[in-house]
Amino acid sequence: MAKPISEDLRSRAVAAYVAGASSRAVAARFGVGESSVQRWERRLRVTGSVLPSRMGGSKSPLDAHREWLLARVAEKPDITLEELRRELAHRGVSAGYGSVWRFCDREKLTFKKKPARRRAGAS
């Protein structure tokens, strides 16, 4: 597994590149790829930092409807994912079954199955 690259290494490499060294020379000196040096310099110009962007996090369109979804599940705890998906569609929100499931999973919403009736005992 590759070792994470420190902010210090990025900063020193970009400083050498900005000072006039070629990306090839900087890459060889610091043991990184040429394109990395160029990307870090571009990131510094654009954002003011050589730090990488944050990774992960939810970017689900359902997050905009979080309050309604949580209220709906609280109102009807035995609602199915498919019913939630259909209700979202009536509200003009297009969402797949998997998207609804992932939203519920992130929110720690569980759906317990309850038997409709008891099994018949032995005769």
Q: H-type helices in the chain, by residue range?
A: 7-18, 23-30, 34-47, 66-75, 81-90, 97-106
CA angle 46, 60, 4 (to 5 degrees): 50
- pLDDT tens for the chain, 123 residues long, are 566 788 899 999 999 999 999 999 999 999 999 999 999 999 999 999 998 888 877 678 899 999 999 999 999 988 999 999 999 999 999 999 999 999 999 999 887 666 665 666 666
pTM for this entry? 0.50
What contacts 13, CB < 8 A, 6 or more positions away? 26, 27, 29, 30, 32, 36, 37, 40
